[in-house]
Structure 1
Amino acid sequence: MSAVGQLKTVVWDAADIQGLADFYVAVAGLTQHYADDEWVTLTSPDGWRFGVQRALDHVAPQWPDPAHPQQMHVDFQVADIDAAAELAELHGATRLRDGESWHVLADPAGHPFCLSRGQVERPGVSGVIVDTGDPPALARFYSGLLGLEVGYEGPDGVLLGREGQPRVMFQQVAQYQSPQWPDPTRPQQLHLDVMIGADADAAEEAALALGATRLPGVGENWRVYADPHGHPFCLLTPVG
């Protein structure tokens, strides 16, 4: 399947970027590779890349309050969800909801995340979950953007990505409210970085044709867009 680019990084917003990075290193088994005053890079043993980006005016979500939505969250798979939740609480997480096969917690910056039970020896990443009022429509956009095939579609949402691919889930949320980045009162919370080729203009044209909107953000090798349901994402060209 053709694609505009490939998912490179899942990025959390936070005021205390090193504190949030240290949390995920301790709780989710991530490894820190780079840090400066504005950004921290982390990776998981199973190949996911995460970033923590400084947002001094970050307003934490208050899940499940639809007026303060999470927008996206990460699902981690662990062998023992009770032990993993207790460890997370020791490092500053807040328990939000318990389930039979998964627990929901908030990290120290307020971002909800899930700990789901799996047959794993060490923590892994099940996927990133995106809130929306129309999962099939948003899944079609990201299937074209990232070149991922539908792995599941049901009443609870649509999953993109098969074995060996990054998995992105689009879940149905009642009273969904989109972010309005860069308005700090309607924050993005998380965003996706998508790596493209060297031709940024061609990639932009393809993304806009799929339904993206250009937003007022640009850097040396990145441009900011919003998906059809308002979630910001970045298209990145290779450096050097």
Structure 2
Amino acid sequence: MAHLLRDTDAMTITIGSPELINGQEGRRVLAAFYGELLGLRAFEPYGWLKLTREPPDTPLQLALDGDGWSDARPPRWPDPEYPQQLHLDLFVPDLDSADQRVRELGAARLADQDHFRIFADPAGHPFCLYPHPSGEARIGRLVIDCLSPRSLADFYAGLLGVPERTIDTVERVELDLADDELPNLAFQHAQFPATRWPDPAYPAQLHVDYRFPDGAEAARARAVRLGAIPMDGPVYADPAGHPFCL
């Protein structure tokens, strides 16, 4: 591995959920959507609804929760006034088959870019499908919008201990975690109103919990040294304002 994260429970990506989607509990609708699409199993530790391949001790988990969601400001891609902030790039073995499947599960296609396609999940969060010879659907990248991709990539490269970049341009940077169980991190140029956690009018649509074997205190000191801002308890804001937890 080429990162400083733990071997198990290393990264939890929380996807904000409205209270209801079509009259059903929002987080369970999203759990059913992503679980079916990605072959993940649901479990509920400490009241959280989470998805992973083999609960509970796997490197990557998805959490579905009202935390980070605001019914008043759901994303409206590509409207910058209602920004996505972060999104998932999903790798699939066959793009056409996956296109049909996600729409059957409740996604809406937003754009066809030839070599990849953009959708909104049942709550409105944009995500992309990319063909990839991996043999199964998986989360390939977590993409973070920001004004300066290179600057924000420098922060996360230091926080996660990931120097390798597969893409390095003024518009887009990708950090290679060199770990089949975890997604790479990508940063793309965008201008939009930043989240103002915990203000529900400027919500964090997605956020990430990172866990390190050297412990939370060492990670917090490293994050602050690199430019993170302490917010409340385990919550920090990266230099672009995106909240994350340690």
Same fold (TM over 0.5): yes
Shift of 1:80: 1.8
Q: Indicate conservation of the 8 Å contact 1:48/1:125, yes or no.
A: no
**1:49 paired residue number:** 61
Aligned to 1:100, the other structure's residue is in SS state: coil
Does residue 209 of the first structure (1) align with residue 225 of the second (2)?
yes
**Which of 92, 114, 139 is matched with 1:78 structurally?**
92
Partner AA of 1:229 in structure 2: A
CA distance in structure 2 between the aligned counterparts of 1:135 and 1:34, rounded to whole angstroms: 35
> Residues 44 and 104 of structure 1: is their aligned pair in 2 closer, same or farther, counting only changes over 3 Å?
farther
Deviations 1:34-63 (A, max 9, x none): 3675x2111258953211122464431011
Give the ranges of 4+ consecutive aligned residues of structure 1 lying more than 4 Å apart after TM superposition.
1-7, 44-47
Does residue 182 of the first structure (1) align with residue 198 of the second (2)?
yes
Unpaired runs of 5+ residues, structure 2, are: 19-25
Alignment of 1:153-172 (within 5 A): 153-164=168-179, 166=182, 167-172=184-189
**1:10 paired residue number:** 13
**1:234 paired residue number:** 245
**2:102 paired residue number:** 88
Aligned to 1:185, the other structure's residue is in SS state: coil
CA distance in structure 1 between the aligned counterparts of 2:142 and 2:171, rounded to whole angstroms: 15
CA distance in structure 2 between the aligned counterparts of 1:209 and 1:189, rounded to whole angstroms: 26
The two structures have a TM-score, normalised by structure 2, of 0.84
**Which of 185, 189, 194 is matched with 2:210 structurally?**
194
**1:60 paired residue number:** 74
CA RMSD of aligned residues (A): 2.4
Alignment of 1:22-171 (within 5 A): 22-34=32-44, 39-44=48-53, 48-55=60-67, 57-58=70-71, 59-151=73-165, 152-164=167-179, 166=182, 167-171=184-188
Partner AA of 2:37 in structure 1: V
CA distance in structure 2 between the aligned counterparts of 1:200 and 1:48, rounded to whole angstroms: 18
Return 152-161 or 39-48, whichever deviates more: 39-48
Aligned to 2:44, the other structure's residue is in SS state: strand
CA distance in structure 2 between the aligned counterparts of 1:233 and 1:212, rounded to whole angstroms: 10
CA distance in structure 2 between the aligned counterparts of 1:190 and 1:209, rounded to whole angstroms: 24
> Residues 209 and 3 of structure 1: is their aligned pair in 2 closer, same or farther, counting only changes over 3 Å?
farther
Q: Indicate conservation of the 8 Å contact 1:132/1:138, yes or no.
A: yes
Aligned to 1:184, the other structure's residue is in SS state: coil
Aligned to 1:193, the other structure's residue is in SS state: strand
**1:238 paired residue number:** none
Shift of 1:123: 0.7
> Residues 209 and 36 of structure 1: is their aligned pair in 2 closer, same or farther, counting only changes over 3 Å?
closer
Aligned to 1:17, the other structure's residue is in SS state: helix
The two structures have a TM-score, normalised by structure 1, of 0.85
Shift of 1:3: 7.4
Partner AA of 1:17 in structure 2: R
Shift of 1:176: 3.0
Shift of 1:140: 0.6
